Amino acid sequence: SQSLKDKVALVTGGSRGIGAAIAKRLATDGASVAITYSKGADAAASVVSAIEKAGGKAIAIQADAANAEAVKASVEKTVATFGGIDVLVNNAGTAIPKKFEDTTLEEMDYMFAINVRGTLAATQAALKHMKSGGRIIMIGSCVGERTLTPGLVAYSATKGAVKMFTQGLTREVGARGITVNNVQPGPIDTDLNPAAGDWAVPQIAVTALNRYGHVDEVAALVAFVASPESSYITGANLTVDGGTNA
């Protein structure tokens, strides 16, 4: 389908993992896509070339989510290149799994800077340009609502903040015809959370489907939320977690 024909999307952290899958899927649906990354220029370039090979339009922008000026500049660059911004996907995020009492304040600051502050900064910059029909989409986490395994205490707090940011913002931008939603993945096989290894065992155990999810399974939900068909959904926390939170 070409449900996003003539639309422009910015996906933060789009060079690998869930963000790369979202960028490719939105391009398949017809959007021109900008992605940001922090370190992986080669990975970002390969996402762009995959989209271009498939006949789409894409650019990669280096912008550390912890640097609000760089985040703002990435939004401006997207608008300057493609003529606007219709969809913002706040995907850039990270986790440092360890016991709360062993987590340093520096590690907590780092997670909050990327997962929360970066999301707020990108959203503020995008709202300057977004018109009616716009879509703000967060990539939160199923642990932003419920936590079933230890080791993710501070990370869960960042995703809980993303959840309430989503719900709060709907009240300020709804009258402009802009929706705000929070897509909450469960365990998804990426560099951040590989499906193989000791750390995966308890996560698989708490799913109902008894497996990790694939990045494309998250991208499919994001594509629906980004599309015009989702027009009456806002302020929703949409979980794609194989039944983890069931």
**Piece in contact with ligand NDP (CB under 6 A), picked from 22-30, 77-85, 87-95, 225-233:** 87-95
Q: What is the H or E stretch that residue 123 is in?
A: helix 118-127
Residue 10 phi/psi, 5-degree rounding, is -115, 125
Give catalytic status of residue 155 as yes or no. Answer: yes
Q: Which residues contact 139 (CB under 8 A, 6 or more apart)?
A: 18, 19, 22, 89, 90, 91, 93, 183, 185, 218, 222
Please tell me which residue in 37, 155, 212, 232 is annotated as part of the active site. 155
Q: Does 65 bind ligand NDP (CB under 6 A)?
A: yes
Among positions 157, 185, 207, 245, the unique one binding ligand NDP when judged by CB under 6 A: 185
Cα separation, 73 vs 246, in Å, equals: 40
Q: Does 18 bind ligand NDP (CB under 6 A)?
A: yes
In 3D space, the residue among 126, 121, 115, 238 whose CA is nearest the CA of residue 182 turns out to be 238
Q: Does 187 bind ligand NDP (CB under 6 A)?
A: yes
Q: Does 242 bind ligand NDP (CB under 6 A)?
A: no
In 3D space, the residue among 109, 113, 88, 123 whose CA is nearest the CA of residue 14 turns out to be 88
Q: Does 64 bind ligand NDP (CB under 6 A)?
A: yes
Amino acid residing at 163: K
Report the nearest approach of ligand NDP to the CB of residue 145 (Å).
11
Report the nearest approach of ligand NDP to the CB of residue 6 (Å).
26
Cα separation, 151 vs 140, in Å, equals: 17
Report the nearest approach of ligand NDP to the CB of residue 214 (Å).
11
Cα separation, 154 vs 130, in Å, equals: 32
Number of residues that bind ligand NDP (CB under 6 A): 31
Q: Does 16 bind ligand NDP (CB under 6 A)?
A: yes
Residue 186 phi/psi, 5-degree rounding, is -95, -155
Amino acid residing at 74: S
Per CB under 6 A, contacts with ligand NDP among 189-228 are 190-193
Q: Which is nearer to ligand NDP, 56 or 185 (CB)?
A: 185
Among positions 7, 37, 56, 227, the unique one binding ligand NDP when judged by CB under 6 A: 37
**Piece in contact with ligand NDP (CB under 6 A), picked from 10-18, 80-88, 99-107, 226-234:** 10-18
Q: Which residues bind ligand NDP (CB under 6 A)?
A: 12-19, 36-40, 64-66, 91-95, 114, 139, 141, 185, 187-188, 190-193
